[in-house]
Amino acid sequence: MGWQSATDKVPRIIFISSSGNSTPMFTRPYPPLSFCFTGLGWLVLSSILGLAILVGLVHGTPLPSWVRMLHVHAVLVGGVAQIILGGFLLLISPSSLGNRKDADSHPISFWAMNSGLVGMLMGFWLHQDTIVAVAGLVIMAACCSVISTLWNRARRMWTSSLSQAWFYALALLGLVGGSACGEILAFGLMPQSPGYVRLAHIHLVVLGFVVLAIMGMMHHILPTIWNRPFVSPRLVQTAMVLIPLGVAVLIGGFLNSSVPVEMAAGAMLFTGGILWIGNLLGTWRASTHTGSAASDHLLVSTFFLLFTIILGVLVGANSLSSPPRLPYGRLHLVAYTHMTFVGFIVNAIMGACSYFIPITLAADRVPNTKKRGPYRDQLNTIINRWSTVQIAALSLGTMGLGLLAALTWNVPLTSIYIHIATWTSLGLLMTGLVLFSVKLTSIVAKKPDTFQTAQTSADELKLTA
């Protein structure tokens, strides 16, 4: 029960499969993997919309601003936030006492989050801020329900895992704070400074919640994957103090419209990122791990995080002069933000899913721990296929967006170079997403070997006889 140690081979994950289509919607079990798979579905749908937005920008016919709002909120709320909350529920198993099926099922939270998101998207489409605000309250209630469950499970272990617990608590606090800023915008409570509140809203959700949550999850699972503890726990602790502090200073800089404060926060984030990534690299080099989709995705994502921090500082420095030394338009903003959204967040999510989903499916489908290992190995073999191509396509496609934005400083949008960079980047990104989706579909469809299971059961009966 509770937080797993870094040396545990397999975390205690409880997965309850649905019991049939005839089960009523709110009594059917909705385990953590329901959040994860639904979140991945939202990511795929919103990525298609994102491709349309990018093509429109490049062709000089940008789509309406509400379409961009649909894309961003479907990614962050429906995809990233839902997957992270499901991942938290996987990390913290329910109590060993009582009915585990009830403890690990969250139907009301699941439907409130997804129906609230649909309502929010409809509000953006209809240009009705009140609908957006009310739907946002529904989503906040669903998130708070999951957070309450996590709090009740984790507080028993805080005395032995305080460093992880307070970091996760800060991430969840960032989610609540960012959602509150979104409600302020939707209800129009601060009309005199909507731009600063919007910046606080975005960065509290992305940096305060998503980045901290993913870092905490990496802190938990990478030593398990590599089968060794961190080489320098002190570096980890220093980084885990500097990065949340840098986020807090950055939000303060946004609210005060102070670019020097924002750049100072960027320096703190960069220092914390260097310490954190340096420790990860040292641990990886000292381990005997030969590589896997989970490990490689997570490791690559850390470099994109550091690169994004550097780009953020440069964007701030560029805005110090009036006019800015380099023109900074919508396409440059798309390239900058997707270094975080795709390069860091999507890579990290793919890595975490590549680790958790095979373990969870094996734990659900093969209750006997002695029979579970071979089946889990089969699922891991499927998820690790073509991982190099998958990671390379996703990473090169993300870097291609940066190249595309940089080209606009020298050539017009009608240039053949712009179109080549656009479609090459989109092709690479879709290749990575399609490969990952196909592999997930394959492991979900892969059932345990019934002959082997039956043979093992027969052998056990002979032994007991």
Residue range 30-82, pLDDT digits in tens: 788 888 899 999 998 998 898 899 888 888 888 888 999 999 999 999 999 89
| Residue-level pLDDT at 383 | 92
What is the rounded CA–CA span in Å between residue 213 and residue 208? 8
| Residue-level pLDDT at 97 | 37
Which range has highest mean pLDDT (189-193, 314-318, 340-344)? 340-344
395, pLDDT greater than 90: yes
Q: What is the pLDDT of residues 427-443, one digit of tens each?
A: 999 999 999 999 989 99
54: CB partners within 8 A, 6+ apart: 334, 401, 422, 426
Count CB atoms within 10 A of the CB of residue 370: 9
What is the rounded CA–CA span in Å between residue 264 and residue 135? 36
Count CB atoms within 10 A of the CB of residue 56: 15
| Residue-level pLDDT at 116 | 93
Q: What is the pLDDT of residues 253-289, one digit of tens each?
A: 877 778 888 889 999 999 999 999 999 999 998 888 8
Which DSSP string do the residues of 347-404 spell out, in sequence order?
Answer: HHHHHHHHHHHHHHHHHHH--SHHHHHHHHHHHHHHHHTTHHHHHHHHHHHHHHHHHH
| pLDDT confidence bin for 139, thresholds 50/70/90 | very high
Of 449, 452, 292, 436, the closest CA to residue 378 belongs to: 449
Contact 40, 83 (CB under 8 A): yes
Contact 203, 247 (CB under 8 A): yes
Indicate the angle between helix axes 82-91 and 347-365, nearest 10 degrees. Answer: 50
Q: Give the mean model confidence (pLDDT) for residues 4-28.
A: 43
| Residue-level pLDDT at 251 | 82
Extract the runs of DSSP E, i.e. beta strands, from 176-309.
none
Give me the torsion for CA of 355, 356, 357, 359, rounded to 10°. Answer: 90
| Residue-level pLDDT at 447 | 86
111, pLDDT greater than 50: yes
pTM (whole model) above 0.75: yes
Judged by phi (left if over 0) then psi (alpha if -120 to 50, else beta), residue 227 lies in left
What is the rounded CA–CA span in Å between residue 402 and residue 310? 13
Q: Which residue is listed with tokens 């019991």?
A: 19
